A and B are shown apart, each in its own frame.
Chain A
Amino acid sequence: MANIAKGSDGSELVATSDKRLSGKELGTAVVTTDSFENPGLPPHRQRVTDTDPRRLARAARIVAWLFYLSIAGSLFTIFAYMFFPIEDGDTTSLRLSTLYIGLGSAFALLAIGIAAVHWGKAVMADKEGVDERHPVRGTPATRERAIEIFKEADEESGFSRRTVIRNGMIGAFIAFPLPAIALFRGLAPMEVDPNNELKHTFWKEGLRLTRDPTGVAIKASDLTIGSSVHVIPEGLAELPEHEKLDAKAKAAVLLVRLKPEDLNWTSDKRKSWSYDGIVAYSKICTHVGCPVALYEQQTHHLLCPCHQSQFDISNECAVIFGPAARPLPQLPITVDAEGYLVALSDFEEPVGPSFWEREK
C-alpha cells in the first residue's frame, strides 16, 4: 500500500482500497492488475459508398449539385436585394426584402454546409487514423536546459543577488499604472458630488404637477377616483433633451386619486402631503430604479414590472411583496389658488435605489 500524501507533521493519507497498485501520482484513483485488457480497435465497418460504386457516384453527384444550388441561392439573394426594395413607410416591403435576402443567403450557406459535410462523410476516404500522445510536459532534457537558462540569466543579470535593483523594479511596476486610475476620475465631472445629486430632484415648492410628456398642468378637479396620471414637474419638458432625461429619471411621479377614507396615514404630516384623496408618489423603484407604474385601482397596489416589488398606496406605499426594502417616497402636494396641483417641496428623502451614503 502506497502513501498518497504526507503532511508536514508526519501524518499521511492512505488509500482504503486494498487492490490498488503503488504510485504517488494516483491519489484516490484505484488501478489494479486485475483489470481487463484493451481489446484494440474494432474491425473497420464499410460504408455503402465503399461497397457500392453506384451509391458512391450518386453521393458525389449530390455533393456537386448542392454546390451549384448554393451558387443559385447566392444569385437569388442578389436579385432579391435588387427587386425587393424597401418602400418608404411600408413595413410589408421591408418584411419581404428581409425575408428573401435572408432565405436566399440561408439557402446558399446551408447548401455549402451540407455539400461539404456529405462529401466528407460519404465520398472522402473513410480512414480512421491514430495519433500518439506524448506527455504535455517537456522532455527531461528540455526542462533541464530551461532551468539552466534561467540560472544563467539570473547569474548574468544578478536578478536574485541585486535585491535593491529588483525591488526597485517591482515597485516601479506597481506604481506606473496608478496614474491611469487617477485619470479615470475624469469620467465624470470634477465639480459634482454624486451624493448631493442623488439627494435632490427637480421638484421644489410651488412647481405645478404636469402631464408626461405634454407638460400640461393638472387641476385637482381633473382627477376622478380611480384615475392615475403620469406626472413630470412644470418646466421639465422645456429642458434641453439630455438634462430633461437626467431630471426625469428622478422626478417622475405617479398621481392617483382614491377615496380619502381608503388612505391610511401614520401621521398628520404625511396626510397633509395629500389633497382630498389625491396622492403623488415617486415612480422610481426603491429597489433598482425601474419605473413602478402598474397601478391597480381596486386593490390600490403598485407593481414594478422589473422585479415584482409591490407597494400599497393605501398605506403610504409600504412594500408588501418583492425585493424592494423601502416605501416609495411621497411628493408633498397641495392645490394653488387656481386649482392646479402644486408641489409643497422637493421629496423629503432621496428617491430611487438605495446607495451607500443615503443616510448621510
Chain B
Amino acid sequence: MSQKPDSNRKSGRRSPLAIILLVAIGLITTGAAYAMASSATASAEVDLSSPEVIDEGAKLFAANCATCHGLQAQGTENGPSLIGVGAASVDFQVGTGRMPMQANSPQAPVKPVQFTDAQVQALAAYVASLGPGPSIPSASMLTGGDVAHGGELFRINCAMCHNVAGAGGALTEGKYAPTLDNSAAVHVYEAMLSGPQNMPVFNDLNLTPTEKKDIIAYLEYQKANPSPGGLELGSLGPVSEGLFLWIFGVGAIIGLTIWITAKSN
C-alpha cells in the first residue's frame, strides 16, 4: 500500500512554510541528538581497576556516601550495603543524580548530578573493588540492537511500570516509575542490570545482553522519531487526550458558538 516517492520533487515545489518547518524540525532533532550523544558518551573509558582511581573513589565515598551506607559500604539502618552491587549500580545512581539522596525515601528522584564524570567513575571503581558485581557497559553494548524485538521485550518487561511510550507511571504509596524520555542508554542498561530502588533486577540470564541492547535500540528509536501524528500530550494516553479535547477542542468550539450568536457591530 506504500506510496512511491514522487519523482518530480524539486526544491522549488515546496512551500516556504515547509522549509521553515523542516529547518525547525531539523534543528530540534539535531539538538536533541547532540544532547543525547553527549550524555551517552559521558562514561568515557577510565581504567576502573587502577589503584589511584579506587583510592580517589574511597575518599569520595567516605565524604559523601558513608553516612548512610557505612564507612566500609557495609550498609546501615539508613542505607543498604553496597558490597557486590558493582560499578553499574554506582554509575546509575550517582550518574543520574539520584545519589546522594536528599532525604531517605523509597523513591530516589533524579537531580542535577553532584559529581564530575571522573568522580563518578572513581566512586564506581571503589565500590566495584569491594566485591564482584555488574560493571559499566561499554559503548559497543549499547548500539546496534533490533528495534522490533526490543519493542516486544519492552512491552512485556517494562511497559507496565514505565508506560508503553516510556512516559513513566504510578507505583504504590507515592512512588513512581520515572519517564525514560531523558534517560541515557548507558543508564537504562545499568538500571536493568542493577534493579535500582523498587525496580526488579533483569540480570543477563533474564534479559541477555543482546536483548538489553534491543530494548535500548527501541527506546532510542522512540526518542529520535517523535509521533507522526503530532503533539504527543506527554504520551499519557486517553486521559491527556480527553483533557485536551475538553480544554482546547470544546473551548474553541464554545468560543465559536459565542461568536456566531453575538450580534454583529
Residues of A within 8 A of B (CB): 45, 47-49, 76, 82-88, 91-92, 94-96, 98-100, 117, 121-122, 126, 211-213, 219, 222-230, 256, 291, 293-299, 301, 303, 305, 310, 321
- A305 and B169 within 8 A (CB): yes
CB distance from B170 to the nearest CB of A (A): 8
Which residue in A86, A126, A299 is a CB contact (below 8 Å) of B2?
A86
- A227 and B203 within 8 A (CB): yes
- A256 and B3 within 8 A (CB): no
- B5 and A301 within 8 A (CB): no
- B225 and A226 within 8 A (CB): no
Residue B112 CB within 8 A of the other chain: no
List the one stretch of B43-51, B93-101, B114-122, B156-164 in contact with chain A: B156-164
For A291, give the chain B residue with the smallest CB separation. Answer: B160
Q: Give the chain A neighbours of B21 by CB distance below 8 A.
A: 96, 99
Chain B binding surface, main DSSP class: loop
Given A47-B263, A98-B229, A294-B171, answer yes or no on A223-B206 (Cβ-Cβ < 8 Å): yes
- A85 and B203 within 8 A (CB): no
Q: Give the chain A neighbours of B15 by CB distance below 8 A.
A: 76
- B203 and A293 within 8 A (CB): no
- A227 and B198 within 8 A (CB): no
- B2 and A96 within 8 A (CB): no
Question: Complex Cα distance A90/B173, Å?
Answer: 41
Q: Give the chain B neighbours of A83 by CB distance below 8 A.
A: 6, 9, 13-14
- B2 and A213 within 8 A (CB): no
Residues of B within 8 A of A (CB): 2-6, 9, 13-15, 18, 21-22, 25, 106, 152, 156-157, 160-161, 169, 171-173, 175, 177, 195, 197-203, 205-206, 225-230, 259-260, 263-265
- A91 and B265 within 8 A (CB): no
- B4 and A85 within 8 A (CB): yes
Q: Give the chain B neighbours of A298 by CB distance below 8 A.
A: 106, 197-198
Question: Complex Cα distance A301/B198, Å?
Answer: 10
- A99 and B169 within 8 A (CB): no
For B225, give the chain A residue with the smallest CB separation. Answer: A91
- B264 and A213 within 8 A (CB): no
For A110, give the chain B residue with the smallest CB separation. Answer: B256
CB distance from B105 to the nearest CB of A (A): 11
Q: Can you show 20 pairs from A to B with CB atoms below 8 A apart?
A: A83-B6, A85-B4, A92-B228, A94-B228, A95-B226, A95-B229, A95-B230, A98-B228, A100-B18, A117-B260, A227-B203, A229-B206, A297-B200, A298-B106, A299-B172, A299-B198, A305-B160, A305-B161, A305-B169, A321-B172
Residue among B152, B160, B263, B265 with max Cβ neighbours from chain A (10 Å): B160
- A226 and B201 within 8 A (CB): yes
Question: Complex Cα distance A58/B172, Å?
Answer: 63
Question: Complex Cα distance A142/B174, Å?
Answer: 70
Q: Give the chain B neighbours of A225 by CB distance below 8 A.
A: 201
Given A92-B225, A310-B172, answer yes or no on A230-B200 (Cβ-Cβ < 8 Å): no
- A121 and B230 within 8 A (CB): no
Question: Complex Cα distance A82/B259, Å?
Answer: 36
CB distance from B66 to the nearest CB of A (A): 22
For A122, give the chain B residue with the smallest CB separation. Answer: B264
CB distance from B82 to the nearest CB of A (A): 15
- B6 and A224 within 8 A (CB): no
- A299 and B201 within 8 A (CB): no
- 18 further A-B pairs in the complex, CB-CB below 8 A; given A100-B18, A297-B199: A48-B265, A49-B264, A86-B2, A91-B227, A92-B25, A95-B25, A95-B226, A95-B227, A95-B229, A121-B264, A223-B205, A227-B202, A230-B157, A294-B160, A297-B195, A298-B106, A299-B106, A310-B172
Given A96-B18, A213-B156, answer yes or no on A85-B3 (Cβ-Cβ < 8 Å): yes
- B228 and A295 within 8 A (CB): no
Q: Give the chain A neighbours of B229 by CB distance below 8 A.
A: 95, 98
- A296 and B171 within 8 A (CB): yes
Q: Give the chain A neighbours of B14 by CB distance below 8 A.
A: 83
- B172 and A230 within 8 A (CB): no
Question: Complex Cα distance A48/B6, Å?
Answer: 51
Q: Give the chain B neighbours of A301 by CB distance below 8 A.
A: 172
Given A96-B18, A296-B175, answer yes or no on A222-B205 (Cβ-Cβ < 8 Å): yes
Q: Give the chain B neighbours of A91 by CB distance below 8 A.
A: 225-228
Question: Complex Cα distance A100/B259, Å?
Answer: 27
Q: Give the chain A neighbours of B175 by CB distance below 8 A.
A: 296
